[in-house]
Chains A and B, each alone.
Chain A
Amino acid sequence: MGNFGQLMDGFAIALTTHHILIMVFGVLLGLVVGVLPGLGAPNGVSLLMPLTFTMEPISAIILLTSMYWGALFGGSTTSILFNIPGEPSSVATTFDGHPMAKQGQAVRALTLAFASAGIGALIGVLVITLMSGWVANFALRFGSPEYFAVYFLAFASFIGMAGGSPFKTLVSIMLGLAAGTIGMDTISGEGRLTFGINELTAGISFLIVVIGLFGIGELLVTIDEGYKFEGVKAKLSLREIFRTLAEMPRYWVTILRSALIGCWMGITPGGPTAASFMSYALGRRFSKRGWNFGKGEPEGIISPETADHSAGSCALLPMLALGVPGSATAAVMMGGLMIWGLSPGPMLFTSQPDFVWGLIASMYAGNLIAVVLVLATVPLFAFILRAPFSVVGPLIAIICVIGAYTVANHVFDIWLALVFGLVGYVFKKLSYPLAPFVLAVVLGDKAEDAFRQSMLSSGGTLRVFFETPLVATMMTIGIFLLLLPLITRVFGAVFNSGTKRGVA
């Protein structure tokens, strides 16, 4: 209950006119940044950083986090409308969001995404509020083997749950892992697969991969398939928004499951991107309408969005309590904390309670403001889809190229994005799944580091992955999820033959 009292103090700090105005400004700015692929939240936050030097730390962090929430929402917008994820964590939203928008239900898709994102974020903040003391200690229990187990869990659930040919999924993952190896190797300090190209030493930015695979790839497929070069007749009534909001309670199971996955991945080092993928995969498996996933299924939007935002909120806690940022954006914000004269760490909660609880209170308020603001922009965004493809198409192409360049100001990246565009096109034509490729690019490098660090510190024995109850549990669940399709098939076969025998 002590937490509750402190939270009320936090609200007293966060809910001043000054701070609410900052939140509105931050969210709007974040929306703009999130909608432009390539600019992204980390770049946006670092652009804003100098502005915060003269502010109070609490006002500064409210501005930056509000912008972060805005950017997360903005990222989902482009995922749904153009199949270009503005943020890594909104890739999974494209799988069902974009098909639904193409069917003329852009308003519904956007509303579903924003509403579930808002609910996810609020559940995440609630978890932070209730368990702040416990979470920090729990996060300290994560050594390299535990890190690896978390990534393994994400991979396993995705492979085990993926539809389609397991062989194609495997190929896609392997190619993704290969792309993820490019760049400087943490363990040896050597460049890998860089071929002496300067721009490759930093590795391939995830954003370039996504802009290419999804943005340009989708464009090529659309042209190839002789897509009707006219706009989608989207219904644009405000009533549509409220009707969609009214159907939300129906999905409470999905929302709860996704929020749980999100909070778990946010507190552990998995992060929002892994959370959204894992939630999507598990959603397809456990939903009654799993067969419809990938074709514009509402639950296919709700699962990743809820998990993404609950993970995003929960991930702020380890950052404040341990000083280990869970994402690129968090890293920039942490740098900010230090410049403002605060050091993140276990003592921050006792030495700066006003700051910490003011921030947590602002997360409630900021997310509510963000949901209301983005819902108000839905008709505007959906309207864009009404424009004929001959207008939108070139616009997307330009946005993709500018986006690719903005990531690191390299012309080379534009070529790279075009190459990935071709890869995306070929994948789609041969019906290889893109999602495992993307997941492998995001997590492959981290999983590899964690694995090699575990091996280095254990002297090369695999037993480390089963030594403590925590890591053993995660690995066992992972292996179970990985083998689930096999198990169900074997069980099915045994069961079927059993009944046959019984009949005979």
Chain B
Amino acid sequence: MKKTASYLGLAAAIAVTASVSAPDAARAEWKPDRPVEIVVSAGPGGGTDIFARVVQAALTKNALLTTPILVLNKGGGSGSEAFNYAKDNPDSPYKIYFGTQDAYVLPLGTKVNYSFNDLTPVASMVFDVFILWSNPKASGLNTAQEFIAKAKANPGKVRVAGAKAKDADETVVTLIERATGTDLAYIPYKSGSEAAIQVAGGHIEANTNNPSESLEQWKAGNQKPLCVFTSARLTDKTVVADGMSWADIPTCVEAGIDVKDFLQPRTVWMGAKVPPEALAYYTDLMKKVTETPEFKSYVERNVQINKMLVGQDFKTFLDQQIKTYAEIYKANGWLVATGQ
């Protein structure tokens, strides 16, 4: 305890003297001298929460951040609660926000009280991929082609389960519909794992999911991956089940569904008016996190695409994404009038 206290004092002293004497040095020297809040834009237990807590574990275990870390779950209103909090604390260098594409997609389709300009992008740490799954035993669907054929023969009758409404899963389902000219029945559940169980139990024909949420059901033979929504196949060649590895899953384009990269970035944000030296500090910190064994095993376990975006790269990516999503949302009739 004593040690931390004196260390805290020291850090504070450095921060104060540095900012007073040499602004240039401060840019490199800035360090949080107070507890840092990790604000999670989701409730406890889900994918975003696990992402934030893995980062927390990596930070503490490797002593990358020595001030105490508080994790706050602000999952209200599909996560807008967290970003409203960012709007209310625009200049705090002690609060970092964890989310997905929701951070910039939410304002498009839902009436929320923050806008994209209330956030400063820090990093996109890793990408989750989406996979289309079926239950071969119950529905007899073994390939994406069979799935499409069945959907064409029974318009509006083939059911696809996913997490929440107007979120990533429903978006990708509308993309499938448009690409193949089919009419699917999308059924929203509270979480991706709930949706997966419905398919594993044979109650629903198919679902879209992050790989990890259906992995165990695949191993048990209750689910089978039909295709993956990426432009190139996954790289992991370790056999999972039925002699198949992640790399053996065809991309959806190969399988005849013309939907290219549909990826879920795991994003980190700060308030709109944070000091640049703090932003630089956290950007650097997140880079260090991606090199820790904890984070690496997280990426491996979740079969994610290990690509980090920071700075200008991330901003370009965001501009692109917002444009794409706005088009999809417009086509789906989900756009909300933003003239408030």
Contact flags A331-350 to B (C-beta < 8 A → 1, else 0): 11011001101011111100
**Docked-complex contact B81 and A346, CB < 8 angstroms:** no
Category for how many chain A residues contact B: 35 or more
Whether A295 sits at the interface, judged by CB under 8 Å, is no
Checking A53, A189, A343 against B301 with a beta-carbon cut-off of 8 angstroms, the contacting residue is A343
**Docked-complex contact B187 and A347, CB < 8 angstroms:** no
**Docked-complex contact B193 and A323, CB < 8 angstroms:** yes
**Docked-complex contact A338 and B50, CB < 8 angstroms:** yes
Checking A54, A331, A408, A456 against B187 with a beta-carbon cut-off of 8 angstroms, the contacting residue is A456
Q: In angstroms, how far is the closest chain A Cβ from the Cβ of B204? A: 6
Task: Say whether, besides A186-B165, A339-B57, A198 and B222 are in contact (CB < 8 Å).
Answer: no
- B210-218, B227-235, B242-250, B264-272 - the one binding chain A: B210-218
Whether B219 sits at the interface, judged by CB under 8 Å, is yes
**Docked-complex contact A140 and B69, CB < 8 angstroms:** no
A198 vs B216: C-alpha distance when bound (angstroms): 38
Q: In angstroms, how far is the closest chain B Cβ from the Cβ of A189? A: 3
Category for how many chain B residues contact A: 35 or more
A344 vs B216: C-alpha distance when bound (angstroms): 7
A46 vs B71: C-alpha distance when bound (angstroms): 9
A456 vs B187: C-alpha distance when bound (angstroms): 7
Whether A74 sits at the interface, judged by CB under 8 Å, is no
CB under 8 Å from chain A, chain B span 181-201: 185, 187-190, 193-194, 196-198, 200-201
Contact flags A35-67 to B (C-beta < 8 A → 1, else 0): 000000010001001100110000000000000
**Docked-complex contact A348 and B188, CB < 8 angstroms:** no
Contact flags A187-214 to B (C-beta < 8 A → 1, else 0): 1111100000011011100000000000
**Docked-complex contact A346 and B217, CB < 8 angstroms:** yes
Checking B84, B194, B198, B297 against A198 with a beta-carbon cut-off of 8 angstroms, the contacting residue is B84
Q: In angstroms, how far is the closest chain A Cβ from the Cβ of B165? A: 3
Whether A325 sits at the interface, judged by CB under 8 Å, is yes
Of B74, B185, B194, most A-chain CB atoms within 10 Å: B194
A331 vs B193: C-alpha distance when bound (angstroms): 11
Checking B73, B109, B167, B203 against A144 with a beta-carbon cut-off of 8 angstroms, the contacting residue is B203
CB under 8 Å from chain A, chain B span 22-70: 43-46, 49-50, 53-54, 56-57, 60-61, 69
Q: In angstroms, how far is the closest chain B Cβ from the Cβ of A22? A: 19
Whether B75 sits at the interface, judged by CB under 8 Å, is yes
Q: In angstroms, how far is the closest chain B Cβ from the Cβ of A201? A: 3
Cβ contacts under 8 Å, A141 to chain B: 201
Cβ contacts under 8 Å, A201 to chain B: 76-78, 80-81
Chain A residue, CB-CB nearest to B165: A189
Task: Say whether, besides A339-B54, A341-B301, A334 and B45 are in contact (CB < 8 Å).
Answer: yes
Whether A184 sits at the interface, judged by CB under 8 Å, is yes
Task: Say whether, besides A140-B222, A324-B193, A331 and B212 are in contact (CB < 8 Å).
Answer: no
Task: Say whether, besides A324-B194, A457-B159, A198 and B77 are in contact (CB < 8 Å).
Answer: yes
Cβ contacts under 8 Å, A8 to chain B: none
**Docked-complex contact A50 and B69, CB < 8 angstroms:** yes
**Docked-complex contact B190 and A186, CB < 8 angstroms:** yes
A459 vs B201: C-alpha distance when bound (angstroms): 19
Cβ contacts under 8 Å, A202 to chain B: 75-77, 81
Cβ contacts under 8 Å, A189 to chain B: 78, 109-110, 164-167, 170, 188
Whether A449 sits at the interface, judged by CB under 8 Å, is yes
Whether A380 sits at the interface, judged by CB under 8 Å, is no
Q: In angstroms, how far is the closest chain B Cβ from the Cβ of A278? A: 22
Task: Say whether, besides A198-B113, A341-B301, A346-B220, A332 and B44 are in contact (CB < 8 Å).
Answer: yes
Cβ contacts under 8 Å, A143 to chain B: 198, 201, 203-204
Cβ contacts under 8 Å, A332 to chain B: 44-45
Contact flags B148-167 to A (C-beta < 8 A → 1, else 0): 00000000110100001111
9 closest residue pairs by CB, A with B: A345-B216, A202-B76, A189-B165, A331-B45, A143-B203, A201-B77, A189-B166, A346-B220, A140-B201
Query: Can you give 28 A-B contacts (C-beta < 8 A)?
Result: A42-B44, A50-B53, A50-B57, A53-B57, A140-B201, A142-B201, A143-B198, A144-B187, A186-B164, A186-B165, A186-B188, A189-B78, A202-B77, A322-B197, A323-B193, A323-B213, A328-B45, A335-B46, A338-B212, A343-B212, A345-B219, A346-B216, A347-B216, A408-B76, A409-B72, A456-B187, A457-B203, A459-B185
Q: Which residues of A contact B (CB under 8 A)?
A: 42, 46, 49-50, 53-54, 140-144, 184-191, 198-199, 201-203, 322-325, 328, 331-332, 334-335, 338-339, 341, 343-348, 408-409, 449, 453, 456-457, 459
Given A42-B44, A184-B77, A339-B53: 9 more A-B contacts, CB < 8 Å: A53-B60, A144-B203, A191-B111, A198-B84, A202-B77, A335-B49, A343-B301, A345-B216, A459-B156
